[in-house]
Amino acid sequence: MTETYSPSQTVEMSGFSLDTLRYYEKIGLIEPVRRAAGGHRRYSDDDLGWLDMLRCLRGTGMPIARMQSFAELARAGDETVAQRLALLEEHDAAVEAEMERLIEQRDKIREKIVYYRSYLDREPVVCEAR
């Protein structure tokens, strides 16, 4: 049988806030979620899987607008696999570039750290009065 999850469970499992889950649904990042009798959402395992994908894309800096394109392609069915692949490959390259930039700048900061350390070694502690 297929599991379903309440909004609060989904918050817990997905790491998105309740508001963000509703927002993502509203803007079409996730398909309209199944509802229980009274109108309350019931997320499926599929929904959870999709949310996990979204988390990876957002977490690696993909803008919402691009994620919407991706979601639209996914909704369109199997003929769009090639386009989705292209989109992900392009994003992967962007992430790679971003990481290289990050490493470069981190290294510069580390140089600065080393410099500060050496400074403190030279001038160990300044006692306030002689």
In DSSP notation, 13-54 reads HH---HHHHHHHHHTTSSPPPPB-TTS-B-EEHHHHHHHHHH
Give the nearer residue to DNA in terms of CB position, either 11 or 74: 11
We find the least distance from the C-beta atom of residue 43 to a second copy, in angstroms, to be: 20
DSSP 60: T
Give the nearer residue to a second copy in terms of CB position, either 26 or 108: 108
Encoded amino acid at 15, one letter = G
Q: For the chain, what is the largest distance between any 2 Cα atoms, rounded to a whole number of angstroms?
A: 80
Give the nearer residue to DNA in terms of CB position, either 64 or 102: 64
Q: Which does 20 bind (CB under 5 to 8 A by kind): DNA, a second copy, none?
A: DNA
- Give the integer Cα–Cα distance in Å for 87 and 67: 10
Give the nearer residue to DNA in terms of CB position, either 2 or 8: 8
How far is CA 20 from its chain centroid?
A: 12
Q: Decide: is 17 part of the binding site for a second copy (CB under 8 A).
A: no
For 3, half-sphere exposure in the C-beta direction (CA atoms, 13 angstrom radius) is: 9
Binding positions for DNA, rule: CB under 7 A? 6-9, 17-20, 22-23, 26, 35-41, 58, 63-65
Q: By the criterion CB under 8 A, which residues form the site for a second copy?
A: 52-53, 55-57, 59-60, 78-79, 81-82, 84-85, 88-89, 91-92, 95-96, 98-99, 101-103, 105-106, 108-110, 112-113, 116-117, 119-120, 123, 126
